[in-house]
Structure 1
């Protein structure tokens, strides 16, 4: 299971998971479940595309898929600004914008 999806032990502040001694930022718990689920779906698809493109040796496809991984992770709050330091409205808006970008 990937970090942020229930794997590992949460830290005391609940902002991170620790898996095998490595700290991973958790998905923003304030995101609407439908938005978070859609972003996780895009994230999984993009990660699979990274692997397939890498096996084919298609560097352009790997770069494009990694960009999509980054967009999804930013939308989920797992990268970029620390979600716990921002207003909920801004976090939800960023997630919705990431989802819109991934669906285009």
Structure 2
């Protein structure tokens, strides 16, 4: 967050580049950047009832 706040201030081009690199590094570590998950070949269970997916056991344990 410090690097993001630093981008709001008056910075030299080198300081701005360093802050942006730091923000990018943190975002990659958090999984916000990098390979996308939606093209990993895993089946898409969107628009399916939970009871008709591999999540059915988890779903059945939820309180009503």
Relative to its length, the structure with more strand (as a share) is 1
The answer to which structure, 1 or 2, has the higher relative contact order (CA under 8 A, 6+ apart) is: 1
Q: Do residues 50 (structure 1) and 7 (structure 2) align?
A: yes
Number of aligned pairs?
39
Relative to its length, the structure with more helix (as a share) is 1
Runs of 4+ in 1 over 3 A off after TM superposition: none
1:49: how far off? Answer: 1.1
Q: In structure 1, list runs of 5 or more residues that go unmatched.
A: 1-43, 86-104
Q: In structure 2, list runs of 5 or more residues that go unmatched.
A: 41-64
| Pairs within 5 Å for 1:83-94 | 85=40
RMSD: 1.7
Using structure 2 for the length normalisation, give the TM-score. 0.52
Using structure 1 for the length normalisation, give the TM-score. 0.33
Supply the distance in 1 between the matched residues of 2:23 and 2:11 (Cα, whole angstroms). Answer: 18
Per the alignment, in what secondary structure is the counterpart of residue 8 of structure 2?
helix
| Pairs within 5 Å for 1:62-101 | 62-82=16-36, 85=40
